[in-house]
Amino acid sequence: MDLWILIAAVAVLIAFGLYRFFKARKVLTTLTEDEFRQGYRKAQLIDVREPNEFEGGHILGARNIPLSQMRNRLIEIRKDKPVYLYCQNATRSTRAAMMLHKKGYEDLNILNGGFKKWTGKIKSKK
């Protein structure tokens, strides 16, 4: 009996993970670094990492709106312009895009691989 409960729990977790994966693919666009570079200057470039990570280095021109503060700072993000999001490895930016989609944002883009894969210009505090 316990084995069946464990199998059912694992199946539910896998199903939930697959649902989130396909939902994310439907509401956001994952861009390569080259694609990201081509569009981010005309968009709202948002780093969703925490402030200490942002200060350690970020893509030139990015604003820091941490995922942990995003709900309270939605007024800073326009719905009529594309939104380009990134974090350290694309996990938090995917969550941020899902949250923004629920709030009515449509043109949502994330950097494939996140900041750790970025080879372009960066700015850091000295």
pLDDT at site 26: 67
Three-class SS state of 64? strand
Q: Is residue 15 one of the residues assigned to a domain?
A: no
Name residues of the chain where pLDDT drops below 50: none
Numbers of helices and strands, H then E, in the chain = 4, 7
Query: Is 68 within the bounds of a domain?
Result: yes
In a domain, 13, yes or no: no
Other C-beta atoms closer than 10 Å to the C-beta of 87 total 24
Residue 62 forms part of a structural domain: yes
57 falls within a domain = yes
- Compute the distance between CA of residue 34 and CA of residue 42 in angstroms, rounded to an integer: 14
Please give the residue range of the domain that contains residue 107: 28-123
Residue 32 covered by a domain: yes
**Single pTM value for the model:** 0.81
Is residue 91 included in any domain, yes or no? yes
- What one-character DSSP code corresponds to residue 40? G
How many whole angstroms separate alpha carbon 10 and alpha carbon 111? Answer: 30
Q: How many distinct structural domains can be found in the chain?
A: 1
36 belongs to a structural domain:
yes
CATH number of the domain enclosing 88: 3.40.250.10
